[in-house]
C-alpha cells in the first residue's frame, strides 16, 4: 500500500466514523487496523501482543462496542477492500 492510498483510506474511514454514528466503533477499529497494517504489527514485542489482543477482540470483547471495534480492526488490517461492517 502506498502512502497516498493509506491517507486516502484513512480519510474515508474518518469520514465514515463521523457520519455513521451507529457504526463509529467499527470505523475506529478499522482505522487502527489500517494504521497497524501500514506501519507494521511486529515492530516490538509489545506491538505483537497488542495486535493479538485486537485480533481476538471481535469475539472476546466485553460488550458489543468492543466487538465492533475488533471487527473493524480485523477488516482494516486485512486491507482497504474489507470496509463494510458485518
Q: String of b and e for 26-45 (b: at least 16 CB within 10 Å)?
A: bbbbbbbbbbbbbeebeeee
Q: What pLDDT digit, counting tens, does each position of 29-41 carry?
A: 999 999 998 988 6
Per-residue pLDDT for 13 more than 80?
yes
Tell me if 83 is assigned to some domain: no
In a domain, 22, yes or no: yes
Q: Is 84 part of a structural domain of the chain?
A: no
Confidence (pLDDT) at 86: 47
pLDDT at 2: 87
Q: What is the total count of domains within the chain?
A: 1
Q: Domain for residue 85, yes or no?
A: no
Q: In which domain, by residue range, is 43 found?
A: 3-78
At 43-68, the pLDDT tens digits run: 677 888 888 899 898 888 889 999 99
> Is residue 11 in a domain?
yes
Amino acid at each position: 500500500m502506498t502512502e497516498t492510498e493509506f491517507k486516502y483510506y484513512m480519510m474515508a474511514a474518518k469520514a465514515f466514523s463521523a457520519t455513521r454514528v451507529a457504526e463509529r466503533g467499527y470505523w475506529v477499529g478499522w482505522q487502527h487496523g489500517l494504521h497497524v497494517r501500514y506501519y507494521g504489527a511486529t515492530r516490538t514485542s509489545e506491538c505483537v501482543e497488542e495486535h493479538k489482543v485486537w485480533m481476538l477482540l471481535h469475539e472476546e470483547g466485553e460488550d458489543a462496542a468492543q466487538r465492533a471495534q475488533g471487527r473493524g480492526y480485523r477488516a482494516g488490517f486485512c486491507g482497504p477492500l474489507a470496509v463494510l461492517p458485518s
